[in-house]
């Protein structure tokens, strides 16, 4: 599936509208000037000057108007997991993703988001793309708008609870699977009686392992569930989920920064060890433990740094 976006002048937009006059459809969405639907292509024009072409014929139709226009093309490549239906990016999908699992400080956050087919263009216009291509500040900006237009569930597992669950023998994979299943249940309840065409989970475990993790749950979401790596490139629902999960993670990191009085280092690098030792020395072990994934190797590294400071 290829999505092509052209940045054109208002004069060219009018020419495009006239060309597809007999195929125009009504699309009530913020910023949309007009939309057209061909047998194999959806065309949406925005006040910003962007014209989006989606579907099997996107490249053919965009080529008619690409002279002198700025073009953005996104293609899906190098993914592993389930084989997706043709034109999957145009379906109504619940996507789910998580963040924070590799960070010593901060929570694990999981988000599930429903993007119906008729909102795909709107969500893209709001700025959704692979969250790894977006800055934290940009995600802070776009997330509130996305939350207004898309049914969603965001789960934040803070580290006091994370440490307690992990101490009972739960792996990170099991913790993530439980959170994904719960978030999906929440979104399905919100949109009922509507149902998505598919559910796409950004794959962190093989299907069998994922369902083994949640086998004791009372309600297990299985219907039309697909798994794929790099799923944020496969459907805007997962890209949106990735942004909302990151947004929730950043909000919690802001809260931790207020507790200690300075911005919290992300990741699990040597800088994180130094910050952990600083917090340990100033605020004590319990405070540090409450805001970190205590089983990470960073804890022992911070302990050694603390001993040096005291020595």
* Cβ within 8 Å of residue 255, ≥6 positions away: none
Q: Count structural domains, the chain.
A: 3
Q: Which of 45, 24, 104 is nearest to 264 (CA)?
A: 104
Residues 58 and 204 in one domain: no
- pLDDT interval class at 265 (50, 70, 90): very high
Provide the pLDDT for residue 77: 46
DSSP symbols for 6-31 = EE--HHHHHHHHHHTGGGEE----TT
Provide the pLDDT for residue 107: 97
Residues 166 and 212 in one domain: yes
Tokens of 257: 């920064």
Residues 95 and 66 in one domain: no
Residues 102 and 236 in one domain: yes
Residues 124 and 158 in one domain: yes
Q: Is residue 223 part of a domain?
A: yes
Where helices occur in 102-135 by DSSP H, the ranges are: 120-125
Average pLDDT (17-39) is: 88
CB 260 within 8 A of CB 106: no
Return the CATH number at 11.
Answer: 3.30.310.10
Provide the pLDDT for residue 78: 55
Return the CATH number at 112.
Answer: 3.30.420.10
Q: Is residue 260 part of a domain?
A: no
Q: Is residue 29 part of a domain?
A: yes
87: left (phi over 0), alpha (psi -120 to 50) or beta: left
Q: Is residue 83 part of a domain?
A: no
Going from the C-alpha of 45 to that of each of 20, 38, 200, 213, 259, the distances in angstroms are 12, 14, 28, 44, 46
Q: Is residue 68 part of a domain?
A: yes
Residue-range definition of the domain harbouring residue 202: 88-255
> Which of 23-27, 107-111, 249-253, 279-283 shows the lowest mean pLDDT across its residues?
23-27
Residues 131 and 239 in one domain: yes
> Which of 103-112, 123-132, 183-192, 269-278 shows the lowest mean pLDDT across its residues?
123-132
What is the C-alpha to C-alpha distance for residues 11 and 20, in angstroms, rounded to an integer? 15
Q: Is the pLDDT of residue 31 over 90?
A: no
Residues 226 and 295 in one domain: no
CB 251 within 8 A of CB 154: no
Say how many C-beta atoms besides its own lie within 10 A of residue 257's C-beta.
Answer: 14
Q: Is residue 82 part of a domain?
A: no
Q: Which residue has the tokens 């022992």?
A: 300
Q: Which helix (H) or strand (E) is 148 found in, with range?
A: helix 136-149
pTM across the whole model: 0.76
Q: Is the pLDDT of residue 252 over 50?
A: yes
Residues 158 and 291 in one domain: no
Provide the pLDDT for residue 63: 87
Average pLDDT (58-80) is: 68
């Amino acid at each position: 599936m290829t999505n092509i976006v052209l940045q054109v002048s208002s004069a060219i937009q009018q020419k495009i509208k006239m060309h597809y006059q007999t195929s125009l459809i009504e699309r009530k969405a913020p910023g949309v000037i007009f939309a057209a639907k061909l047998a194999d292509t959806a065309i949406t024009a925005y006040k910003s000057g962007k014209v989006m072409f989606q579907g099997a014929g996107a490249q053919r139709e965009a080529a008619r108007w690409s002279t002198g226009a700025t073009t953005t093309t996104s293609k899906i490549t190098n993914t592993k997991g389930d084989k997706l239906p043709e034109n999957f990016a145009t379906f109504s999908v619940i996507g789910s993703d998580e963040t924070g699992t590799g960070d010593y400080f901060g929570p694990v956050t999981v988000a599930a988001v429903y993007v119906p087919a008729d909102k795909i263009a709107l969500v893209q216009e709001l700025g959704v793309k692979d969250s790894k291509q977006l800055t934290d500040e940009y995600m802070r900006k776009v997330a509130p708008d996305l939350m207004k237009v898309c049914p969603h569930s965001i789960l934040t597992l803070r580290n006091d609870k994370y440490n307690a669950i992990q101490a009972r023998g739960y792996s990170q994979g099991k913790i993530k699977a439980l959170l994904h299943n719960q978030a999906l249940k929440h979104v399905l309840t919100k949109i009922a009686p509507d149902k998505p065409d598919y559910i796409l989970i950004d794959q962190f475990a093989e299907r069998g392992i994922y369902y083994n993790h949640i086998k004791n749950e009372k309600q297990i979401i299985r219907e039309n569930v697909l798994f794929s790596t790099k799923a944020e490139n496969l459907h805007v629902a997962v890209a949106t989920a990735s942004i909302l999960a990151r947004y929730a993670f950043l909000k919690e990191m802001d809260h931790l920064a207020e507790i200690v009085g300075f911005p919290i280092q992300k990741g699990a690098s040597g800088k994180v060890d130094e910050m952990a030792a600083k917090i340990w020395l100033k605020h004590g072990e319990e405070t540090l433990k409450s805001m970190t994934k205590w089983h990470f190797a960073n804890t022992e590294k911070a302990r050694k740094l603390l001993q040096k400071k005291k020595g």
